[in-house]
Amino acid sequence: MSSGIATPTVGTATKENGIRSTAFFDDLRYEEEIESRSAVHGTSVPHRLTHYLKKVENRLVEYSLEARGIERVQESERIPKLSWVSYLQAFLLWMSVNLAANNITLGMLGPAVYGLSFLDSALCAVFGALLGSISSSWMATWGPISGIRTMAFGRYTMGWWPSKLIVILNLIQMIGYCLINCVVCGQILSAVSPSGNLSVAVGMAHGQSCSFPAAADEISGIVIIAVISWIIATFGIRVFHYYERFAFLPQVIVVCILFGVSSSKFDLSTPSQGDTRTVIGNRISFFSLCVSAAITYTPLAADFFVYYPERTSRLKLFSLSILGLLISFTLAFLCGIGLGSSINIHPEYAAAYNNGQGALIVQGFSSLHTFGNFCSVIVALGLIANTIAPTYSAGVDFQILGRYAEKVPRAIWNTLGVVIYTVCALAGRSHLADIFTNFLALMGYFVAIWLAIVLEECFIFRRGGTGNGYGYYNWLVWDDPSKHPVGIAALIAFLVGWAGAILCMAQVWYIGPLAGLVGEYGADMGNYVGFSWAAVVYPPLRYLERKRFGR
């Protein structure tokens, strides 16, 4: 079966405007080229360091490492012809990435935290996932059209310098989610350990040792997921696509088993808790949470399809992406909602939930005994597929921070990102996950605000990205600051959107004055108000910016 991923011969390269453009795997002669340039122009310490890192990367190219960073993928370097497998890959990729334990645990929050009924939670989850998936699927279609990564595409809206702020926020968000994945994996493995006391760091629980074999005692759930994710993400898009093509299958099987064995425990009759205004506020908040879960893929969605040819059907890619996102989110959310509803009427489920959301997943398999523990381990390992995607994109996004950062190979940045979230997960596994869960809810607002600005730049000022004159995206200038907007209009609109989001956010640690007007616990409207305020402010400011600076 065709892989659907381009595999150019090592050593191919192209020249564009006098600058060497790396192919899927960098030409090993690049090392000699750098050496000759250094001999003529001299080499500073930073240049020697980046030169050394490039040499290391070029050696790894021999083992099929993807050496490309943020450089635009030329049409000649992409998949020459798309097969049906290549289109299907979009569906399978999103299925594998999303059908994971972290989304199951998110679904639990509907009944467990917001006090919603099964029906209310299910409706909010499915329609929230649909709304968020639309934006992520739309952004995915820009990968084949542009051949550049999502955050580099953002330069065409935010400008050279303001776009770096978006990159930083996106890096924090991606690394934070990877951290949470590691901790959830640790919780699940802890719950299935023979004694039930395996620490999160060594497999899972709360600081006690386990009776796993000696070799396994040395490895934690955190380290397992981090190391495997690092290996796959570092080797790049080809290995990443291969893994995601098949990773969904065991997850579909075990999630269906989980539905089958635990559905009798679901509470389908208890109504939503609270008065009418409180229930409305909780519905809005949980709906917003599910929107955020899907919309946060928007800043990295195009990264995975830059090797698809420019003539790729946008409709097919969009449709298959949204189908993969929606089906996977629906399965995970509904499973989590059912488990979360069970804690109201089954003490053993409530006790498991008090030990961690991962433990509640294990409790759902409890009737299967040893086989249930095996299924729980499969669910835990499914988090690898969810962690690879942000780990891979983080390596690319680091390069967008500056010229020197761009010279550091993507593999090095991938490694740094993995080290950061692994160390944080190990050091603060008892409390840091809760902190980041609340913090990342705040971080999610930036995506909605950024999306509003990108949409208006595309459809108002560039007429959908097609046509002549100003309506045309010139992909050849993706790395030229003088050809992008100054970014003043986008930055002001972004900050105004943030102000609106803060006024209308409802989190455990803060409820905005406007959000607090709805019910006892407020209603989280930060995404919608932030989006709206930015959308209102940006067009007139962008018009003035174009008039003043001509770009």
Of the segments 186-190, 293-297, 470-474, which one has the largest average pLDDT value? 293-297
Question: Do the beta carbons of residue 1 and residue 85 sit within 8 Å?
Answer: yes
Question: Do the beta carbons of residue 264 and residue 502 sit within 8 Å?
Answer: no
Residue 494 tokens read as 């972004």
Instruction: Please report, for residues 471, 472, 479, the alpha-carbon distance to residue 466 in angstroms, rounded to integers and kept in the order given.
Output: 6, 5, 20
Q: Kindly report the backbone phi and psi dihedral angles of residue 504, in degrees, each rounded to the nearest multiple of 5, phi listed first.
A: -115, 15
Residue 359 banded pLDDT, cuts 50, 70, 90: confident
Residue 197 banded pLDDT, cuts 50, 70, 90: very low
What's the CA gap between 372 and 261, in Å, rounded? 10
Lowest mean pLDDT among 5-9, 94-98, 336-340: 5-9
Report the percentage of the chain scoring pLDDT > 90.
62
The mean of the pLDDT values for the chain is 83
What is the reported pLDDT for 509?
A: 78
Rounding to the nearest 10 degrees, give the CA dihedral for residues 324, 325, 330, 331.
50
For residue 341, pLDDT over 80 is answered with: yes
What is the reported pLDDT for 180?
A: 86
Cβ atoms < 10 Å from Cβ of 67: 23
Q: What is the mean pLDDT of residues 211-222?
A: 47
- What are 405-453's pLDDT values in tens digits? 988 888 899 999 999 999 888 876 666 556 666 666 677 899 999 999 9
Residue by residue, what is the 3-state secondary structure of 168-210? Answer: HHHHHHHHHHHHHHHHHHHHHHHHHCCCCCEECCCCECCCECC
Residue 539 banded pLDDT, cuts 50, 70, 90: very high
- What are 287-324's pLDDT values in tens digits? 999 999 999 999 999 999 999 999 999 999 999 999 99
For residue 371, pLDDT over 70 is answered with: yes
Name the nearest CA neighbour of 448 among 328, 536, 340, 535: 535
Instruction: Name residue 313's beta-bridge partners.
Output: none
Q: Kindly report the backbone phi and psi dihedral angles of residue 322, in degrees, each rounded to the nearest multiple of 5, phi listed first.
A: -70, -30
Residue 12 tokens read as 């191919």
Q: What is the pTM of this model?
A: 0.85
Of the segments 4-18, 240-254, 426-440, 502-516, which one has the largest average pLDDT value? 240-254
Q: Could you tell me how many helices (H) and strands (E) the chain has, helices first?
A: 24, 2
What is the reported pLDDT for 416?
A: 95
Q: Which one-letter DSSP state was computed for residue 506? A: B
Residue 57 banded pLDDT, cuts 50, 70, 90: low
Name the nearest CA neighbour of 153 among 93, 74, 70: 70
Q: What is the mean pLDDT of residues 170-188?
A: 88
- What are 14-33's pLDDT values in tens digits? 333 333 333 333 333 333 34
Question: Taking each helix axis from N to C terminus, what angle separates 162-192 and 383-399, rounded to the nearest 10 degrees?
Answer: 160
What's the CA gap between 495 and 482, in Å, rounded? 23
For residue 211, pLDDT over 60 is answered with: no
| Domains of the chain, first to last | 13-68 (no CATH), 76-549 (1.10.4160.10)
Question: Do the beta carbons of residue 117 and residue 272 sit within 8 Å?
Answer: yes
Instruction: Name residue 506's beta-bridge partners.
Output: 511
What is the reported pLDDT for 429?
A: 63
Lowest mean pLDDT among 23-27, 93-97, 262-266: 23-27
Residue 136 banded pLDDT, cuts 50, 70, 90: very high
What is the reported pLDDT for 61?
A: 53
Q: What is the mean pLDDT of residues 522-536?
A: 95
Q: Which one-letter DSSP state was computed for residue 265? A: G
What is the reported pLDDT for 430?
A: 63
